[in-house]
Amino acid sequence: MAPSGLWTTPSDLARFAIGVQQSLAGTSTPVISQAMTRQMLTNEKENYGLGMFLESSGRSRRFTHSGRNVGFDSDLVAYAATGQGAAVMINTNNSAAISRIEEAIASEYHWPDYIVHRVHKPIPDTEPKVTALLRTILEQFEEGKYDPTLFSPDIGTEIKDGLASDLLGHGPIRSLNLVERKGEGERRVYRYLVVYKHQAFIMHCALNKDNVMSGLEFEPD
């Protein structure tokens, strides 16, 4: 518990961030002086200040800090100059979920210089057999195995073994939605958003002219 034993609330984290912002602007009588606040938000080494992680510069300069304990994640992000920011806590270990919450806030309130990742919107699935094939493969991977006959020789054993290892134990698939389809020579290329209980992935897959899986890789969403 030593590094993760501070218990607080998102409201108190937000009040702390506001206190830092007001102290830096000289608009309050803070616990920490304006000079000390400036020092806290000065890059000492590799984007670390005093007790804070630092991002960007100028009016986009932000101070942040995250926290994690078993079953809980949190994050604080606040702008030094504009007064914007958010404190987010969730009762699960899922940093991707916190990122999506913060990106939604950033988009709604026009945070400067804040990267908002692409939203993956499902498109009509006109080839349910392809989706069913991918689901079968993913369910096999989740059990640490696979049927070689579902793949073309283009996908080597080491790739299949690696995918089975990476996706082992994620549990049942909560949703599997097609988000992009395009042709690429004799292959058709698809992107799916795959959501498990604690993680989401973008799956890139390709089928050859014989409707056999000839390409498969994933990336965290």
Q: Which domains does the chain have, with CATH numbers?
A: 2-109 (no CATH), 128-220 (3.10.450)
Q: What is the pLDDT of residue 221?
A: 66
Along the chain (221 residues), what's the average pLDDT of each consecutive run of 10 residues?
76 94 89 91 89 90 89 92 95 83 91 79 92 93 90 87 85 91 82 85 88 86 66
Q: Using CA atoms, how far apart are residues 63 and 54, in angstroms rounded to an integer?
A: 5
Q: What is the pLDDT of residue 35?
A: 93
Q: What is the pLDDT of residue 80?
A: 94
38 near 24, Cβ under 8 Å?
yes
Q: What is the pLDDT of residue 81?
A: 92
Q: Using CA atoms, how far apart are residues 181 and 124, in angstroms rounded to an integer?
A: 10
Q: Using CA atoms, how far apart are residues 16 and 1, in angstroms rounded to an integer?
A: 22
Q: What is the pLDDT of residue 3?
A: 66
Q: Which two tokens stand for residue 184?
A: 């690429």
Q: What is the pLDDT of residue 187?
A: 79
145 near 157, Cβ under 8 Å?
no
Q: What is the pLDDT of residue 133?
A: 93
